[in-house]
């Protein structure tokens, strides 16, 4: 009997977590590939999960098992009417101009996958509740079935990028998903029959155990919500941080979520109990490591640094979910317990996807929840943490509470189980570590140090001392870690001043100037997206990745010479506005169109106090089209442009849907005879030139690469890599004989082909 319920839970969870990346993949191209798409999708799915759990609680309180089965099977059948999963015609046109992308995405998800997802979201508590009503030997503690549910979720998440996405198109996946949904309906019917036939009472009324019912306090419910909130927020924080500087594709979405689910599988497995000593120590240690990486601003090697973020996420999720598993109530309160978990999850989603972008100009929510996670873990025994004769860890009288059995969770308060009031040292000692970090930052300014050396001294020393001396006490450790973070914010070497900072659905933006206000920079996330000198002699000179001696400069030189000879004006499309630097190449009478999805970037580029490329330097008045480039480019007449420049980034991440086989086909249809397409493929973590060259070879057109390593702060130059694509090699003109523009050498470049329904990030990763 238990096997039937476990299989039904596994299949239901598999479908739930298969449809999440499937729907995200369908909607991602319509929203510019921004990581916020996944955060908003997660918020939607968490909200429906909360609604599903509330629905189960209502069923459990008001209906018999027989009535519950009838109602739920009817809803499952109704949910099937929304299948197969597909975008409706209105959604395919993208976000209407002026509309909120967040609300448009939520509304589209509701219409696309809302009905079946709501019904499936009820599966875990509903089937466990049904099982607890049976005469099965393990029915008194049905929580172990939650491990089967989360195992199904985990298999779906890992199977999507590894098996489903590479072998099935989106349409095929949708049809297979609908077929599996039909099979699940039969499994639910079988579970309903078993519940009614093997019920403890003929009427099917609830009778989970002979023990008296527990009285759940408000504090205990609040602890459940808080312990569920932290891992939920961390999943989104880690995902945003990772995908902002890489690429927004399902592979990098599912890894943090898979670790989150794996922690559930482990802690709810039958007979498992997380050792309290491990739980107490693993979070502060991983917090120190991830804080080192985060605060130092290190970006390479990306794969290695990502491991620190994932390690902390897994440790924090394991501890928080372990405390939830240890504190689970009797089966009589199963539905309410899961409702609290879902509420914590949706609050985490709301905080990251809705509240944080409105309140913070940067991704501040991530370090804040890191601090909260360090506060919620248990305390542990001090094994020698003394400084100047003071014992800084747990006091002797607290050691029993700190290391005792955590099987009930009743004595394990939110402060980590120290069981005492705060004292003055709880503030003074953390403050001392913050002052130490600040002093080290001020002192090291006097010396010429490598970035690694500076980070080791100013961050490594305070953080590792902090863990050694204050690690036993969550209160002191958390405040100390916060003090070090604040010191970095206030005392890190300035060098620049911020002119404007903003954040919206598409990311964070920051315009900075040097001390003399001679140079302005635009940063999107952690990546430079353009800069401009402010003096009259150099103001209209394109710099950074776009300088005249670099790849883009040589492309414009060739095209301008060609059109000067024919007397026809140049027609240019630029995907990605940035600071508007490329407008400096425009001449009077030419036709220039910029495609930009982010209205904040348009506002920054048009503000003459920040950048003047558009207002003063453009020879031709540029037309700015707001919206996703692939959708808006479809509206352009065929053979419209002599040059199409692909320069769209979200921080250092390139929207994958702009570098696919189908995308190149669109660009070629809009390119005039003899025209050129220029891909800007500079990236810290991915070898995107292999993708640009791969889709060109796949399309049977010519391609060349210019890897420009020249850079210099005095000249405003930055190293960059560009790939030029044309229908024939003759269309390159002088570029074909330019040694800076060689053809792709098969011995050097292993070319890859991305499609709209497949993009293999691992194959182009800079390991």
Alpha carbon of 400 to those of 190, 382, 391, 413, 675: distances in Å?
A: 49, 12, 17, 14, 76
- Give CA–CA dist 443/440, Å, rounded: 5
- Give CA–CA dist 743/704, Å, rounded: 5
CA of residue 295 relative to chain centroid, distance: 18
Mean pLDDT over all residues of the chain?
83
pLDDT recorded at residue 724 = 96
211 — pLDDT class (breaks 50, 70, 90):
very low
pLDDT recorded at residue 501 = 87
Of 475, 493, 511, the residue at which a domain comes to its end is: 493
Residue 98 included in any domain = yes
Pairing of strands 720-726, 671-680: antiparallel
Looking at the structure, tell me whether residues 451 and 563 fall in a common domain: no
Answer for the pair 614, 580: CB distance below 8 angstroms, yes or no: yes
Number of H helices, E strands in the chain: 26, 13
- What pLDDT digit, counting tens, does each position of 345-387 carry? 899 988 988 888 888 887 788 899 999 999 988 887 665 455 4
Count of domains forming the chain = 3
The greatest distance separating any two alpha carbons of the chain, rounded to the nearest whole angstrom, comes to 94
| SS3 (DSSP) at 532 | strand
Of 455, 472, 493, the residue at which a domain comes to its end is: 493
- Alpha helices by DSSP H, listed for 456-584, are 461-470, 474-491, 551-566
Pairing of strands 571-575, 591-596: parallel
pLDDT recorded at residue 214 = 67
Looking at the structure, tell me whether residues 264 and 352 fall in a common domain: yes
- What pLDDT digit, counting tens, does each position of 275-326 carry? 777 778 889 999 999 888 888 776 666 667 888 999 999 999 999 998 898 8
Looking at the structure, tell me whether residues 345 and 484 fall in a common domain: no
Looking at the structure, tell me whether residues 193 and 270 fall in a common domain: yes
- What pLDDT digit, counting tens, does each position of 423-464 carry? 788 889 999 999 998 898 888 888 777 777 778 888 888 999
- Give CA–CA dist 629/631, Å, rounded: 5
Beta strands in 578-719 (DSSP E): 591-596, 623-626, 641-646, 671-680, 702-708
| SS3 (DSSP) at 141 | coil
CA of residue 630 relative to chain centroid, distance: 22
Query: Lowest-confidence range among 3-12, 15-24, 593-602?
Result: 15-24
Looking at the structure, tell me whether residues 351 and 480 fall in a common domain: no
Q: 290 versus 400: which is more confidently predicted?
A: 290
- What pLDDT digit, counting tens, does each position of 480-511 carry? 999 999 988 887 766 678 898 888 888 788 89
Who's near 211: CB < 8 A, 6+ residues apart? 330
pLDDT recorded at residue 713 = 56
What single-letter DSSP state applies at residue 619? S
Looking at the structure, tell me whether residues 452 and 337 fall in a common domain: no
pLDDT recorded at residue 287 = 92
Q: 422 versus 644: which is more confidently predicted?
A: 644
Answer for the pair 39, 352: CB distance below 8 angstroms, yes or no: yes
Angle between helix axes 145-159 and 2-27 (nearest 10 degrees) is 30
> The domain containing residue 666 runs over which residues?
548-710+720-764
- Give CA–CA dist 708/718, Å, rounded: 9
680: domain CATH number is: 3.40.50.150
Residue 395 included in any domain = no
Radius of gyration (C-alpha) of the chain in whole angstroms: 29
Average pLDDT of the segment spanning 637-665:
83
CA atoms within 13 A on the CB side of 515: 3
Residue 283 included in any domain = yes
| SS3 (DSSP) at 475 | helix
Looking at the structure, tell me whether residues 641 and 738 fall in a common domain: yes
- What pLDDT digit, counting tens, does each position of 513-572 carry? 987 888 999 988 767 788 999 998 889 999 999 999 899 999 999 999 999 888 889 999
Residue with tokens 């107490």: 280
Answer for the pair 605, 580: CB distance below 8 angstroms, yes or no: yes
- What pLDDT digit, counting tens, does each position of 28-81 carry? 767 766 667 777 888 888 888 889 889 988 888 888 888 898 999 999 999 888
- Give CA–CA dist 50/43, Å, rounded: 10
Answer for the pair 33, 658: CB distance below 8 angstroms, yes or no: yes
Q: 267 versus 637: which is more confidently predicted?
A: 637
303: domain CATH number is: 1.20.1250.20
625 — pLDDT class (breaks 50, 70, 90):
very high
Looking at the structure, tell me whether residues 467 and 563 fall in a common domain: no
pLDDT recorded at residue 421 = 65
Tell which phi-psi region holds residue 342, choosing left (phi > 0), alpha (psi between -120 and 50) or beta. Answer: alpha
Structure tokens at 127: 């089937």
Alpha carbon of 612 to those of 39, 219, 535, 572: distances in Å?
A: 34, 57, 11, 20
Residue 632 included in any domain = yes
pLDDT recorded at residue 396 = 42
Most confident of 203-212, 436-445, 575-584: 575-584
pLDDT recorded at residue 379 = 82
Looking at the structure, tell me whether residues 361 and 441 fall in a common domain: no
Looking at the structure, tell me whether residues 572 and 465 fall in a common domain: no
Residue 123 included in any domain = yes
- Alpha helices by DSSP H, listed for 328-448, are 334-350, 356-359, 365-376, 399-403, 425-444
What is the CB neighbour count within 10 angstroms for residue 291? 23
Looking at the structure, tell me whether residues 450 and 355 fall in a common domain: no
Residue 503 included in any domain = no
Burial of 275 (0-12, 13-18, 19+ CB in 10 A): exposed
pLDDT recorded at residue 208 = 40
Beta strands in 576-620 (DSSP E): 591-596
Of 375, 407, 437, the residue at which a domain comes to its end is: 375
- Give CA–CA dist 86/75, Å, rounded: 20
Residue 382 included in any domain = no
pLDDT recorded at residue 690 = 93
Looking at the structure, tell me whether residues 447 and 552 fall in a common domain: no
CA atoms within 13 A on the CB side of 205: 1
Share above pLDDT 70 across residues of the chain, in percent, rounded to a whole number: 86
pLDDT recorded at residue 628 = 80
Answer for the pair 510, 519: CB distance below 8 angstroms, yes or no: no
Q: Which of 351, 354, 332 is nearest to 343 (CA)?
A: 351
692 — pLDDT class (breaks 50, 70, 90):
very high
Answer for the pair 41, 28: CB distance below 8 angstroms, yes or no: no
Residue 246 included in any domain = yes
């Amino acid at each position: 009997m238990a096997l039937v319920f476990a299989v039904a839970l596994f299949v239901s969870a598999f479908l739930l977590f298969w449809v999440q990346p499937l729907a995200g993949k369908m909607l991602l191209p319509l929203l510019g590939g921004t990581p916020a798409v996944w955060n908003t999708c997660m918020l939607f799915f968490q909200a429906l999960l909360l609604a599903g759990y509330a629905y189960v609680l209502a069923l459990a309180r008001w209906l018999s098992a027989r009535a519950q089965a009838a109602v739920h099977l009817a809803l499952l059948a109704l949910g099937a009417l929304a299948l197969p999963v597909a975008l409706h015609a209105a959604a395919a046109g993208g976000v209407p101009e002026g509309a909120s992308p967040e609300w448009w995405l939520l509304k589209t998800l509701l219409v696309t996958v809302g009905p079946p997802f709501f019904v499936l979201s009820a599966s875990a508590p509903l089937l466990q509740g049904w099982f607890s009503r049976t005469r099965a030997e393990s029915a008194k503690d049905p929580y172990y079935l939650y491990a089967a549910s989360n195992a199904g979720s985990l298999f779906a998440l890992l199977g999507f990028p590894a098996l489903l996405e590479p072998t099935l198109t989106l349409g095929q996946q949708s049809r297979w998903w609908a077929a599996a949904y039909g099979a699940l309906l039969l499994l639910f019917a079988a579970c309903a029959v078993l519940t009614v036939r093997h019920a403890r009472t003929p009427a099917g009324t609830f009778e989970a155990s002979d023990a008296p019912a527990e009285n759940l306090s408000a504090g205990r419910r609040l602890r459940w919500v808080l312990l569920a909130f932290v891992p939920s927020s961390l999943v989104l924080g880690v995902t945003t941080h990772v995908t902002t500087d890489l690429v927004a594709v399902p592979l990098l979405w599912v890894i943090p979520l898979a670790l989150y689910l794996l922690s559930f599988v482990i802690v709810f497995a039958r007979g498992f109990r997380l050792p309290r000593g491990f739980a107490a120590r693993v979070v502060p240690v991983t917090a120190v490591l991830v804080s080192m990486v985060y605060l130092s601003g290190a970006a390479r090697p990306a794969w290695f640094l990502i491991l620190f973020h994932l390690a902390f996420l897994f440790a924090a999720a394991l501890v928080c979910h372990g405390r939830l598993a240890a504190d689970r109530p009797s089966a009589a309160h199963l539905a309410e317990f899961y409702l609290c978990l879902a509420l914590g999850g949706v609050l985490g989603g709301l905080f990251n996807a809705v509240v944080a972008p409105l309140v913070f100009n940067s991704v501040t929510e991530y370090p804040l929840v890191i601090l909260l996670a360090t506060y919620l873990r248990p305390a542990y025994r001090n094994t020698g943490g003394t400084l100047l004769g003071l014992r800084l860890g747990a006091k002797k009288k607290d050691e029993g509470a700190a290391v005792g059995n955590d099987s009930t969770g009743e004595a394990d308060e939110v402060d980590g189980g120290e069981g005492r009031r705060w004292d003055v040292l709880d503030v003074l000692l953390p403050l001392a570590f913050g002052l130490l970090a600040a002093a080290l930052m001020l002192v090291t300014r006097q010396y010429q140090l490598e970035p690694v050396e500076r980070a080791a001294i100013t961050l490594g020393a305070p953080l590792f001392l902090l863990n050694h001396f204050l690690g036993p006490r969550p209160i002191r450790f958390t405040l100390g870690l916060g003090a070090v973070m604040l010191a970095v914010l206030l005392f890190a070497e300035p060098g620049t001043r911020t002119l404007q900072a903003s954040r919206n659905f598409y990311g964070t933006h920051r315009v900075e100037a040097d001390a003399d206000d001679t140079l302005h920079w635009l940063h999107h996330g952690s990546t430079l997206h353009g800069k401009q000198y402010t003096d009259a002699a150099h103001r209209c000179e394109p710099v950074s990745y776009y300088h005249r001696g670099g790849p883009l400069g040589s492309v414009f030189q060739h095209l301008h010479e060609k059109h000067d000879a024919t007397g026809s004006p140049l027609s240019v499309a630029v995907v990605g506005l940035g600071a508007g630097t490329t407008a400096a190449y425009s001449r009077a009478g030419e036709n220039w169109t910029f495609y930009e999805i982010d209205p904040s970037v348009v506002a920054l580029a048009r503000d003459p106090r920040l950048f003047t490329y558009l207002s003063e330097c453009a020879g031709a008045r540029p037309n700015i089209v707001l919206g996703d480039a692939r959708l808006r480019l479809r509206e352009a007449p065929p053979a419209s442009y002599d040059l199409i420049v692909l320069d769209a980034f979200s921080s250092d991440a390139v929207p994958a849907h702009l570098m696919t086989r189908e995308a190149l086909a669109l660009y070629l249809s809009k390119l005039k005879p003899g025209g050129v397409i220029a891909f800007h493929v500079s990236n810290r973590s991915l070898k995107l030139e292999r993708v640009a060259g791969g889709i060109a070879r796949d399309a049977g057109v010519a391609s060349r690469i210019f890897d420009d390593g020249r850079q210099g702060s005095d000249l405003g130059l930055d190293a960059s890599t560009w790939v030029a694509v044309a229908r024939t090699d003759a269309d390159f003109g002088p570029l074909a004989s330019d040694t800076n523009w060689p053809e792709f050498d098969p011995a050097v470049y292993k070319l890859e082909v991305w499609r709209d329904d497949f993009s293999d990030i691992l194959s182009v990763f800079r390991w």
